[in-house]
Amino acid sequence: MKLIFASGNKHKLQELQSKLPSHIQLVSMRDEGFSGEIEEPGKTLEENARIKAKFIFERFGENCLADDSGIEIEALNGEPGVYSARYAGENCSFLDNNLKVLKNLKGVHNRRARFRTVIHLFLEGKEYFFEGSIDGDITASIKGADGFGYDPIFRPRGKKETFAQMTLDEKNQISHRALAVEDLIQFLSTFE
Ligand code: IMP
């Protein structure tokens, strides 16, 4: 079964393909000949994942999926959420985003946050939705140099290290993305 991934991110494609059952062949939208970017005007992760998957479905008429992730901080009313990539402005760096979060949480006692991934799937004319999340806390300062995004300021609940202090393997076993993908895989493994 072929599935088109509505993303141009090669790392995500490889990670997902390595976890999918062998009867599923994941191809990127780039391989299908779409080299542009899909706009993400949604106000929630769910909306954006569906917008991206629907765009590819309408273009190619084939089974496809899209994902969207973000970090939701309780004391900031769920921000940056769907705006995680550009929290500190268009073309900002990961460091800019981290520093903005730390500034906005200065003196704030409630550090609760969670990462969330949603996956939207178009399969044989039906739509399905999968989700994974991990709870944690925003640290008082930047800790660790690995990973990306908000990894240096996010400590999963019950752990001593931030995501950026863990190996990729350790992170990938517990991450929001891994849990959403597990949810998807469980569903797909029932499809021949
Ligand atoms: P995307 O939807 O996977 O592209 O994620 C959007 C943004 O959310 C990224 O640019 C990061 O800022 C943030 N993000 C998503 N997943 C992670 C993660 O695992 N660690 C750190 N930041 C993440």
Whether 192 has a pLDDT exceeding 70, the answer reads no
Domain ranges of the chain: 2-191
Q: Coil, strand or helix: which one is 112?
A: strand
Q: Which of 148, 161, 167 to mutate to test the pocket of ligand 1 (most atoms within 8 A of CB)?
A: 148
Distance 149 CA to ligand 1 centre (A): 6
pLDDT of residue 74: 98
pLDDT score of 148: 94
Name which residue sits closest to atom 11 of ligand 1, judged by CA. Answer: 149
Residue 191 has pLDDT above 80, yes or no: no
Contact 8, 30 (CB under 8 A): yes
The string of pLDDT tens digits covering residues 74-111 is 999 999 999 999 999 999 999 999 999 999 999 999 99
Token pair, residue 116, equals 């969330």
- Whether the Cβ atoms of residue 82 and residue 43 lie closer than 8 Å to each other: yes
How many other C-beta atoms lie within 10 A of the C-beta of residue 73?
25
Fold of 2-191: Maf protein (3.90.950)
CB of 69 within 6 A of ligand 1: the answer is yes
What separation in angstroms does the CA of 156 have from each of 48, 140, 149, 150, 172?
25, 14, 15, 12, 12
At 19, the pLDDT band (50, 70, 90 cuts) reads confident
The residue-averaged pLDDT of 118-135 equals 97
User: Percent of the chain at pLDDT above 70?
Assistant: 99
H/E stretch holding 98 reads helix 94-104
Distance, in Å, from the CA atom of 49 to the CA atom of 82, rounded to the nearest integer, reads 10
Evaluate if residue 6 carries a pLDDT over 80. Answer: yes
Quick check: CB of 98 below 6 Å from ligand 1?
Answer: no
- Is the distance from the beta carbon of residue 70 to the nearest atom of ligand 1 less than 6 Å? yes
Rounded Cα distance between 150 and 14, Å, is: 22
pTM over 0.75: yes
Residue 41 has pLDDT above 90, yes or no: yes
Q: Could you write out the three-class secondary structure of 40-77?
A: CCCCCHHHHHHHHHHHHHHHHCCCEEEEEEEEEEHHHC
Which residues fall within 8 angstroms of residue 183, CB to CB, at 6 or more apart? 119, 130, 131, 132
pLDDT in tens, 141-188: 999 999 999 999 999 999 999 999 999 899 989 999 999 999 999 999
Per-residue pLDDT tens digits for 64-79 = 999 999 999 999 999 9
pLDDT value, residue 90: 94
Q: Is the pLDDT of residue 113 over 90?
A: yes
Report the run of H or E that residue 186 belongs to, with start and end: helix 176-188
pLDDT of residue 111: 98
Can you tell me the distance from the alpha carbon of 84 to that of 70, in angstroms, rounded to the nearest whole number?
5
- What residues act catalytically? 68
